[in-house]
C-alpha cells in the first residue's frame, strides 16, 4: 500500500511548504479534479463526508491520472493522486505533489496461485514492483516529516 498525495500547480502557495496537506482545510477554497465526477471512497478509505465536500468543489473531471495532471497544470485545480501517477505528472512539469494528512491508501496487488508458480521473469517483476513501491512510500513519508 502507498499513501495518496495532493497534486498542486507548481505556483500554488502551498507548493513550496513542507509538511502535510489537510484536505479539510482546503475544501472550502480550492477547486478539485475528480474522476468521473466522483471519488472512489471505499478504494481510497476516504471519509464519505469529506468525499461529498470535495465533489461539491469539483469543477473538472478526468478519465485518468495523466489527464488529471494536465488539468492541475493548466487550470490551477488540485487533485488527489496515487504517488506513482503524481511522480509521472511532476516529470511532465508544472505540478508538484505533497503528502496528505488524511490517511488515504492506494493498494497494489499481484494475484497468483503462489509465488512458487511464478516464472523467473514474473518473480523479477514482482520484486521490482515491491522495491519501487517501498521507495515511493519512503519518499512520501520523508516529505510528511518536513516542517
Across 2-11, average pLDDT = 91
Residue 28 — φ and ψ, nearest 5°? -75, -25
User: In whole angstroms, what is the distance from residue 3 CA to residue 66 CA?
Assistant: 18
Confidence of residue 137 (pLDDT cuts 50, 70, 90): confident
What per-residue confidence (pLDDT) applies to 48? 82
Pick the CATH number of 2-145 from 3.60.15.10, 3.40.630.90, 3.40.190.10, 3.40.50.10470: 3.40.190.10
State mean pLDDT over 123-136. Answer: 90
Mean pLDDT of 89-111: 88
Quick one: pLDDT band at residue 10, thresholds 50, 70, 90?
Answer: very high
Domains of the chain, by residue range, sit at 2-145
Amino acid at each position: 500500500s502507498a499513501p495518496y498525495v495532493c497534486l498542486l500547480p507548481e505556483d500554488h502557495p502551498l507548493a513550496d511548504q513542507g509538511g502535510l496537506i489537510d484536505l479539510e482545510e482546503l475544501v472550502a477554497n480550492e477547486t478539485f479534479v475528480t474522476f468521473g465526477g466522483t471519488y472512489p471512497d471505499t478504494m481510497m478509505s476516504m471519509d464519505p463526508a469529506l468525499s461529498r465536500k470535495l465533489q461539491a468543489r469539483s469543477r473538472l473531471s478526468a478519465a485518468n491520472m495523466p489527464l488529471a495532471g494536465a488539468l492541475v497544470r493548466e487550470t490551477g485545480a488540485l487533485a488527489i493522486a496515487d504517488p506513482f501517477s503524481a511522480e509521472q505528472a511532476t516529470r511532465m512539469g508544472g505540478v508538484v505533489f505533497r503528502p496528505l494528512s488524511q490517511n488515504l491508501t492506494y493498494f497494489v496487488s499481484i494475484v497468483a496461485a503462489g509465488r512458487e508458480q511464478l516464472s523467473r521473469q514474473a518473480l523479477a517483476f514482482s520484486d521490482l514492483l515491491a522495491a519501487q513501491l517501498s521507495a515511493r512510500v519512503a519518499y512520501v513519508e520523508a516529505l510528511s516529516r518536513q516542517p
